[in-house]
Each structure stands twice: as structure tokens, then as C-alpha cells.
């Protein structure tokens, strides 16, 4: 069976590309011919361009350096995609995406915030509106990106979700939204990155980036104490801090495979990222996570840690070396295997109904 996935694979974002790889591989491992549909959403394309946000203002030297890094990073991401992800043989745009309906027997939209109006500027292709046969329409771990619908959102969710074959979302709030918008039931499933085992991810991990012990720091949300914590941990352990936003070493090795390597080979990992939390657990790292930056709580990471029974990983400024406390991954491994089975069963059921 030929299956197409619509997701944000063109975003220059580690979580987006790695989840796309994981879902693609998981379905191909079931024995199906599966592609990421190489769809060019106009909003995504405008954001990922190396020139997005480029200015020639007062600090033009800084802007130029950032441009060089963005070009390098885009190239690294494209190389990873070509090597590890099965893309459709054709690039699609909003003008010709309908042609994909004749190519694939079944579709999945997701994961990521594919149903977030702001992310796509209202692009309805991620609701598979171009697919005629409702049996072919499914979502995997799709997200709205909100718990309360914003005023600018113009999607007609009742119509867009009405004829889906199978709907799965990544958050409980998403399940409630699907029910309120369309009256339809949905399932909450794990992020695609959790569908692959540690051993499967190790095949993707790049080479060890530096020989010395280091603390890898990776943050998405605005940090509060995270950077101070990493510096104090460095003082206590003598390990060098590698900051994904500032360290030259990271700029030299910044592909998705390198990103995994920075986590995998680190002595300690300090993060506030959901996918950072995922790979901390999968790679069984000594890690600390900033769950609350004083403005908002990282609920996705918090819920994942609670799900797998891991406690005491919130960074503790009063006890820096608590990061060395041993973690019993027995419960986590058992829970993740159960969640993985349920998610794969959902995918299989959707495919079977499309046959």
C-alpha cells in the first residue's frame, strides 16, 4: 500500500524533522511504501528561508553571521532529509496538491501543529481537504497548538474534520477540541519520536562531536534559570558548556544527526524542550529540565515525565548535583512500550480501513 504523510518536514526545526523521520520509518517498517509528501506550504517556506528576518540595520555584522549559519543549517537539514527520509518524487504546492490524491492509497496528517491556523496561515491541505475518498484521511498526533481557540482562527473545523477515517492527536486538550468542534472521537497517541527504540535512533546518531566531557544546553522557550544552572554545573564538574544557540562547536555540527549526537554523547543535558525531554529518556541521560520559566509551564514535557514515572528532573538551583541522581528507567521503558503498541495499532487500523 502506498501511504503519504503531510507534516512540517520542511521546517528547519529538529523536532519537526525527527518526528517526520520517525513516523515515516515506522510505517515503512510495517511493510508499506510510505513517503513524506514534499508539500511546500507558503507560510512554512517563508519562515525557513535563510533570509527570513535578515536585516541590514546597525548590527549588520551580527546579521551577516546569522545568515551564514542559517544557510549552513538549511544545507545540513536538507542533507539529512535526502539521506534518511523517503520523500515523494514530486514537490507539491497548494496549486497542484490535488494530484497527490491519485498517487497515494492512504494519508496521515501530522504530527506537529499542522492544525494551527497561525503556523500554516490557514492552509487546509493539512486537513487533507484535497482527498476525495474519506477512507484515506487520517491524522497522527496532530495538534491545534492551543487549548482555547484564538480569535484569528478561521478554520471550519466541523467541515474539515467531518469525513476523517481516523483521528489521533498528541494532547488531551486536542481530543477535547476535536469532540467540541466536530462531535467526533479521537485518540491521544505518543509523539512519533517515541515510536522508535534507542537502538533504532542510535543508527541515526552522528559522530561524537568533541572528545572532552561536556554539558549540552538546548532550549526552545525563553529560559529563566537554565543558563545559570548550566554554568554552575560546569563549575562543579569541570565540563565544558555547549550552548546550541551560541557555541561555535555546535554551529560546525548542526544537522539533525549531529543534534542527536550532542545529546547522546553528553555528560549532562540541560533543556526546556519537549523533544529534548524525549531523547533524554530514550538515551537514558543524566538530564535536568526547566519546566517553568516563570511565564508558562512546559506541559508537554511535564505530562511525558509523569506518564513514564520519572521525577526529580526539574533543575534545582539549590542542589546542582541532583542531576547525578540515578533514574530507574524500568517503569519508563514498560510504559513507552505499551504506548508505542497502542499507537502502532491505531496506524494499522487506519491503513486496514483504507484498503
- 234-260 b/e with 16+ CB inside 10 Å = b? beebebebbbbeebeebeebbbbbbbb
Question: Given this model, what pLDDT does residue 58 score?
Answer: 58
204: which DSSP letter?
Answer: T
* Contact of 99 with 4, CB cutoff 8 Å: no
pLDDT digit string, tens, across residues 170-196: 999 999 999 999 999 999 999 999 999
Burial of 188 (0-12, 13-18, 19+ CB in 10 A): middle
Tens-binned pLDDT, residue by residue, of the chain (355 aa)? 999 999 999 999 999 999 999 999 999 999 999 999 999 999 999 887 776 665 555 566 777 777 888 899 999 999 999 999 999 999 999 999 999 999 999 999 999 999 999 999 999 999 999 999 999 999 999 999 999 999 999 999 999 999 999 999 999 999 999 999 999 999 999 999 999 999 999 999 999 999 999 999 999 999 999 999 999 999 999 999 999 999 999 999 999 999 999 999 999 999 999 999 999 999 999 999 999 998 888 999 999 999 999 999 999 999 999 999 999 999 999 999 999 999 999 999 999 999 9
- Within this chain, domains 2-195+338-354 and 198-324 share the same CATH topology: yes
Tell me which residue has cell 512500550.
337
pTM: predicted TM-score of the whole model, two decimal places: 0.95
pLDDT digit string, tens, across residues 96-138: 999 999 999 999 999 999 999 999 999 999 999 999 999 999 9
Q: Fold for 2-195+338-354, please state it.
A: Rossmann fold (3.40.50)
* Contact of 267 with 237, CB cutoff 8 Å: yes
Q: Please enumerate in sequence order all residues whose Cβ is within 8 A of that of 134, keeping only pairs 6 or more positions apart, or say none.
A: 163, 164, 165
Tell me which residue has cell 517498517.
29
* Contact of 39 with 103, CB cutoff 8 Å: no
Using CA atoms, how far apart are residues 12 and 44, in angstroms rounded to an integer? 9
- Strand, helix or coil for residue 103: coil
Please determine, looking at this structure, whether the domain spanning 198-324 carries the CATH number 3.30.1540. no
| For the chain, domain boundaries | 2-195+338-354, 198-324
83: which DSSP letter?
Answer: H
Question: Given this model, what pLDDT does residue 52 score?
Answer: 66
* Contact of 297 with 291, CB cutoff 8 Å: yes
Q: Please enumerate in sequence order all residues whose Cβ is within 8 A of that of 122, keeping only pairs 6 or more positions apart, or say none.
A: 154, 155
Amino acid at each position: 500500500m502506498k501511504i503519504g504523510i503531510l507534516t512540517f518536514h520542511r521546517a528547519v526545526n529538529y523536532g519537526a524533522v525527527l518526528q517526520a523521520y520517525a513516523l515515516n520509518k515506522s510505517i515503512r517498517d510495517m511493510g508499506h511504501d510510505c513517503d513524506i509528501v514534499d508539500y511546500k506550504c507558503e507560510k512554512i517556506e517563508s519562515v525557513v528561508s535563510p533570509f527570513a528576518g535578515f536585516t541590514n540595520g546597525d548590527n549588520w555584522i551580527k546579521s551577516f553571521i546569522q545568515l551564514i549559519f542559517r544557510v549552513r543549517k538549511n544545507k545540513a537539514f536538507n542533507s539529512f532529509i535526502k539521506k534518511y527520509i523517503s520523500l515523494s518524487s514530486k514537490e507539491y504546492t497548494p496549486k497542484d496538491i490535488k494530484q497527490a490524491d491519485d498517487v497515494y492509497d492512504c494519508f496521515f496528517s501530522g504530527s506537529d501543529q499542522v492544525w494551527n491556523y497561525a503556523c500554516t496561515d490557514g492552509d487546509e491541505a493539512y486537513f487533507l481537504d484535497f482527498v476525495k475518498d474519506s477512507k484515506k484521511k487520517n491524522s497522527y498526533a496532530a495538534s491545534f497548538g492551543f487549548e482555547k481557540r484564538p480569535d484569528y482562527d478561521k478554520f471550519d473545523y466541523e467541515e474539515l474534520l467531518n469525513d476523517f477515517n481516523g483521528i489521533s492527536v498528541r494532547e488531551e486538550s486536542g481530543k477535547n477540541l476535536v469532540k467540541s468542534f466536530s462531535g467526533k472521537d479521537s485518540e491521544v497517541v505518543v509523539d512519533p519520536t517515541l515510536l522508535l527504540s534507542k537502538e533504532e535512533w542510535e543508527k541515526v546518531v552522528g559522530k561524537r562531536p568533541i572528545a572532552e566531557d561536556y554539558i549540552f544546553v538546548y532550549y526552545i522557550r525563553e529560559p529563566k534559570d537554565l543558563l545559570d544552572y548550566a554554568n554552575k554545573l560546569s563549575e562543579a564538574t569541570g565540563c565544558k558548556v555547549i550552548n546550541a544557540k551560541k557555541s561555535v562547536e555546535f554551529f560546525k555540527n548542526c544537522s539533525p544527526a549531529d543534534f542527536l549526537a550532542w545529546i547522546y554523547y553528553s555528560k549532562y543535558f540541560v533543556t526546556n524542550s519537549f523533544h529534548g525531554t524525549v531523547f533524554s529518556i530514550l538515551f537514558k541521560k543524566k538530564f535536568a529540565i526547566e519546566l517553568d520559566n516563570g511565564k508558562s509551564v512546559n506541559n508537554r514535557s511535564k505530562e511525558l515525565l509523569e506518564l513514564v514515572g520519572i521525577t526529580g528532573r526539574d533543575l534545582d538551583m539549590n542542589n546542582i548535583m541532583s542531576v547525578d541522581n540515578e533514574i530507574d528507567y524500568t517503569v519508563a521503558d514498560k510504559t513507552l512500550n505499551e504506548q508505542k503498541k497502542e499507537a502502532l495499532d491505531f496506524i494499522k487500523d487506519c491503513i486496514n480501513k483504507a484498503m
